[in-house]
Amino acid sequence: MSHSSAELNKPLPAAVAVGSARWWLSYRRFPVFSRAWVWRRAALFGLIIVLVGAMSSLMHYAEGSDERLALELFAYFVAGFLVMTNAGPLLAAIVRHRHFAPVTERRLVVAAIGLGLVLALLADNWSSTAMMRLTDSEFERTMEGTALVINLLVLFGLYALMGGGLALRAYLGEHRRLATFESEQAMRRLQSDKLAADRQLAMLQAQVEPHFLFNSLATIRSDIRDQPEQAERTLDALCEYLRASIPRLRPDDSGSSSTLGDQLEICRQYLTVMQSRMRVRLEFSIDSDPAVSKLAFPPFILLSLVENAIRHGLEPSSRGGRIDIRARRDDQRLIVTVADSGVGLSGDAGGGVGLSNIRHQLRLLHGDDARLTLSGHARGGVEASIELPAEAASQEPDS
Amino acid sequence: MNSAAVRILVAEDESGQRRQLIDQLAKLWPEAELVAECADGDAALAALESERPDVLFLDIRMPGADGIEVARAASGRAHVVLTTAFEQYAVPAFEAGALDYLLKPVVPERLAATIERLEQRLQSSPPDIGALLSALDERLRPAAEQKLNWITATIGDAVKLMAVDDVLFFRASDKYVRVVTADDEALVRMSLKQLEDRLDETVFWRIHRAVLARVSAIEQFEKDELGHWHARLKNHPERLPVSESARSRLRGM
């Protein structure tokens, strides 16, 4: 990942920047050792140095030093610390803006920070000596052995901290953080593309099944003469069902704002048609309180469960049974169950592509926040239950 | 053929459509005699034996034995007409000619043509349609069902479907295989071999004679005091045995 100069001076995505992004730490939002980063950091550190320097000089002034001396002390203090804190980062910034190959750049940046350390040492020595001369204080400089080593180590640590040592670590990790961030972004993009594709697929699968359509028409045809009212009812329900299902296939209405109420209505029309076909072999009930019907519910999932219940539960059974759909809200959760009294789950394992699609769609929409569970009795009957966060349906289809 | 009436059987699970087909047959084929009216495949199989029909009108999708199973039982003994609402997959099998089919809703013109063909066919003995039915059956059964997505586990009186996507490992014990997810487990009566054949081999690995584990759930392999290798899982406390051969296979993967 190589940045152009313009890019180097642009803020990083929040996930890549190190630490909190309060306004006074705003330099951290920029690529480490970019010009923007160096200036903002220098401004912050400079402000602190000026404040501390001013306080120290004021104290000397209060203790009786004259103005000129206090000012000189202040100047040395500020100059020394400014060099100490900025030399390394400044050199590193010059390197970064030259756009070397990544490995070369990293080596040169490390070297720049090292050189900065040396400069910091010199600057500190220079300003401390000057300040001691001005204040006539004697500093015990005759340390030996361990004490000297420890002292040097402490000094070195201090310079490293002030002179961009921490930033160096952030810099070396920036590449990785940026790469991680970008791959996560790509992943998210892919997932949302996939979600859109999956929705499309679900809608295509939810296309009125020809089998269902022609069987229903056959039933209407057979009822027209002997039971015209029954035929009329079936035809009306079929029309409603088709009206509710077909517009969803248009690309401008991706069904993203579908509500539970819509979905229950499609199921009701579907079951009404099925009831006129299966007659006494099918009874059904839909039980939901009006408050939940405004909640968002992904399209076609519920119908798919009801179709499953008919196809694998009741149709294979000569005596038929019932389907009961219940929707309720439990605090922040919406729970919808489709229970049938059909032949039940059989065999030890199954393909269940339709069910896997539902699970998959729920996962893409809600992650681990939604679940599909299926349970049944050995004697027969299956209960499918979908649990997801209770959210109001959005008016606008999401992009 | 001229002396005895043609004996027909009608099997259709939806009563409205069944009555409609019977009415139309009565009108268009007065010489035929309805000997059995069945609401499911099992009744049709029974009537095939007891009533010895000459022609069967069978819905493909029915409770109990489906239309294809009944047709197979009738192969070589009676002529068969299958009824279906949608023929997308079925057409090639039908075009072979030995089998006739009716599209729902059944329209009189089409039924009349079918009856005409049947009357010709009745001159000769019913053909063997076993092979044709097998081909048809294959077309009607989606191939995707072969991949395992759900495990049906029996827990006492209850049955539960567990998504294969949630399963961490399968571990054989005695006659059963334990199916274990992060927060649940159950027993199924399938062999590990059967499971292995229908699972994605890039997702589940046979790490031991008795263990099929989800690769992505394995945290690390470790050796115990006795020098045996185990797999530790990310979301489950159980340590799984790892066979020597599996370990050498997994090394470097």
Residue B195 contacts A, CB cutoff 8 Å: yes
B82 contact partners, CB below 8 Å, separation of at least 6: B58, B59, B60, B67, B68, B71, B90, B94, B99, B100, B101, B102
Residue B200 contacts A, CB cutoff 8 Å: no
Q: What is the pLDDT of residue A398?
A: 41
Chain A residues within 8 A of B64 when measuring between CB atoms: 316, 318
Whether B144 and A353 lie within 8 Å, measured CB to CB: yes
Chain A residues within 8 A of B163 when measuring between CB atoms: 356, 359, 372
Please give the residue of chain A at the shortest CA–CA distance from B66.
A316
Residue B13 contacts A, CB cutoff 8 Å: yes
Sign of CA dihedral A250, A255, A258, A260: positive
Q: What is the pLDDT of residue B70?
A: 94
Give residue-wise pLDDT tens across range A340-396. 998 887 654 555 677 888 888 888 888 888 989 888 877 788 999 999 999 887 654
Q: Which residue in the set B85, B104, B158 is minimally distant from A376, CB to CB?
A: B158
Residue B210 contacts A, CB cutoff 8 Å: no
Do the Cβ atoms of A318 and A296 come closer than 8 Å?
no
Residue A40 has pLDDT above 80, yes or no: yes
Mean pLDDT of A332-338: 95
Interface of A with B (CB under 8 A): 209-215, 217-223, 226-227, 276-279, 315-318, 344-353, 355-356, 359, 372-379
B185 contact partners, CB below 8 Å, separation of at least 6: B178, B179
Q: How far is CA A321 from the centre of its chain?
A: 45
Closest-CA distance of chain A to residue B86, Å:
5
Residue B219 contacts A, CB cutoff 8 Å: no
Whether A218 and B159 lie within 8 Å, measured CB to CB: no
Closest-CA distance of chain B to residue A247, Å:
23
Please give the residue of chain A at the shortest CA–CA distance from B88.
A210
3-state SS, chain B, equals CCCCCEEEEEECCCHHHHHHHHHHHHHHCCCEEEEEEECCHHHHHHHHHHHCCCEEEEECCCCCCCHHHHHHHHCCCCEEEEEECCCCCCHHHHHCCCCEEEECCCCHHHHHHHHHHHHHHCCCCCCCCHHHHHHHHHHHCCHHHHCCCEEEEEECCEEEEEEHHHEEEEEEECCEEEEEECCCEEEECCCHHHHHHHCCCCCEEEEECCEEEEHHHEEEEEECCCCCEEEEECCCCCEEEECHHHHHHHCCC
- Whose tokens are 């039908």? That residue is B94
Length of chain B: 253
DSSP SS3 for A310: helix
Q: What is the pLDDT of residue B248?
A: 79
Do the Cβ atoms of A273 and A234 come closer than 8 Å?
yes
Q: Which residue in the set B39, B149, B154 is minimally distant from A355, CB to CB?
A: B149
Q: Which residue in the set B104, B145, B165 is minimally distant from A353, CB to CB?
A: B145
- Please tell me the distance from the alpha carbon of residue B90 to that of residue B140, in angstroms, as a whole number: 7
Q: Which residue in the set A211, A221, A318 is minimally distant from B20, CB to CB?
A: A221
**CATH, range A206-389:** 3.30.565.10
Q: What is the pLDDT of residue A1?
A: 44
- Whose tokens are 């009744």? That residue is B43
Q: What is the pLDDT of residue B97?
A: 65
DSSP SS3 for A97: coil
Do the Cβ atoms of B234 and B199 come closer than 8 Å?
no
Chain B residues within 8 A of A359 when measuring between CB atoms: 163, 165
Give residue-wise pLDDT tens across range A116-136. 888 888 888 888 888 888 777
Instruction: Give me the residue spans of the domains in chain A.
Output: 5-185, 206-389
Please give the residue of chain A at the shortest CA–CA distance from B195.
A349
Please give the residue of chain A at the shortest CA–CA distance from B153.
A348
B79 contact partners, CB below 8 Å, separation of at least 6: B54, B55, B56, B100, B118, B121, B122, B126
- Please tell me the distance from the alpha carbon of residue B56 to that of residue A213, in angstroms, as a whole number: 25
Do the Cβ atoms of B61 and B50 come closer than 8 Å?
no
Q: Which residue in the set A218, A227, A376 is minimally distant from B105, CB to CB?
A: A218
DSSP SS3 for A257: coil
Q: Which residue in the set B14, B64, B86 is minimally distant from A278, CB to CB?
A: B14
- Whose tokens are 């990942």? That residue is A1
Q: How far is CA A89 from the centre of its chain?
A: 33
- Please tell me the distance from the alpha carbon of residue A395 to that of residue A397, in angstroms, as a whole number: 7
- Please tell me the distance from the alpha carbon of residue B252 to that of residue B212, in angstroms, as a whole number: 19
Chain B residues within 8 A of A351 when measuring between CB atoms: 142, 144-150
Residue B140 contacts A, CB cutoff 8 Å: no
Closest-CA distance of chain B to residue A116, Å:
44
Q: Is the pTM of this model over 0.90?
A: no
Chain A residues within 8 A of B154 when measuring between CB atoms: 378
- Please tell me the distance from the alpha carbon of residue A98 to that of residue A101, in angstroms, as a whole number: 10
Instruction: Give me the residue spans of the domains in chain B.
Output: 6-141, 146-250
Give residue-wise pLDDT tens across range A72-89. 888 888 888 888 888 888
Q: What is the pLDDT of residue A174?
A: 81
Q: What is the pLDDT of residue A255?
A: 47
Whether B63 and A376 lie within 8 Å, measured CB to CB: no
Do you find a cis peptide bond into A89, omega within 30 degrees of 0? no
DSSP SS3 for A100: coil
Q: Which residue in the set A220, A221, A350 is minimally distant from B152, CB to CB?
A: A350
* The residue type at B34: L
Q: What is the pLDDT of residue A27?
A: 80
Whether A376 and B160 lie within 8 Å, measured CB to CB: yes
For chain A, the C-alpha Rg in angstroms (whole number) is 37
- Whose tokens are 């008795």? That residue is B210
Beta strands B55-59 and B79-84 are parallel
Q: What is the pLDDT of residue A334?
A: 95
Give residue-wise pLDDT tens across range A45-79. 889 889 988 888 888 888 877 888 888 888 888 88
Output the DSSP codes for A192-238.
HHHHHHHHHHHHHHTSPPHHHHHHHHHHHHHHTTT-HHHHHHHHHHH
pLDDT along chain B (253 residues), means of 10: 78 92 94 94 95 94 89 92 77 66 89 92 88 80 66 79 90 88 86 87 90 91 86 91 83 60
Whether B161 and A277 lie within 8 Å, measured CB to CB: no
Interface test mutation site (partner A, options B12, B60, B149, max chain A beta carbons within 10 A): B149
- Please tell me the distance from the alpha carbon of residue A387 to that of residue A361, in angstroms, as a whole number: 13
Token digits of residue A52: 């501390």
Phi, then psi, of B236 in degrees rounded to 5 = -150, 140
Beta strands B211-214 and B167-173 are antiparallel
DSSP SS3 for A46: helix
More confident call, A147 vs B12: B12
Give residue-wise pLDDT tens across range A148-207. 788 778 877 877 777 777 788 888 888 788 888 888 888 888 877 777 766 666 665 556
Whether B86 and A211 lie within 8 Å, measured CB to CB: yes
Q: Which residue in the set B105, B161, B188 is minimally distant from A374, CB to CB?
A: B161
Residue B82 contacts A, CB cutoff 8 Å: no
* Mean pLDDT over each residue of chain A, to the nearest integer: 82
Of A342, A321, A330, A331, nearest to A384 by C-alpha is A342
Closest-CA distance of chain B to residue A339, Å:
14
Q: What is the pLDDT of residue B169?
A: 95
Interface test mutation site (partner B, options A225, A282, A345, A373, max chain B beta carbons within 10 A): A345
Do the Cβ atoms of A78 and A51 come closer than 8 Å?
no
Token digits of residue A276: 């006129």
- Please tell me the distance from the alpha carbon of residue B43 to that of residue B65, in angstroms, as a whole number: 9
Please give the residue of chain B at the shortest CA–CA distance from A315.
B63
Token digits of residue A294: 């405004």
- Please tell me the distance from the alpha carbon of residue B160 to that of residue A361, in angstroms, as a whole number: 21
DSSP SS3 for A242: helix
Q: What is the pLDDT of residue B2?
A: 47
Is CATH 3.40.50.2300 the right assignment for the domain spanning B6-141? yes
- Strand order from edge to edge, sheet including A321-330: A282-288, A321-330, A333-340, A382-389, A371-377, B158-163, B150-155, A349-350
- Contact pairs from chain A to chain B, CB under 8 Å: 134
CATH architecture designation of domain B146-250: Beta Barrel (2.40)
Chain A residues within 8 A of B152 when measuring between CB atoms: 345-350
Token digits of residue B98: 């030995």
Please give the residue of chain A at the shortest CA–CA distance from B189.
A348
Torsion angle, alpha carbons of B40, B46, B48, B52, to 10:
-140
Return the exposure string of A264-285: e unless at least 16 CB atoms fall within 10 Å of the residue's CB, then b. bbbbbbbbbbbbbbbeebbebe
* A105 Ramachandran zone, left/alpha/beta (phi>0; psi -120 to 50): alpha
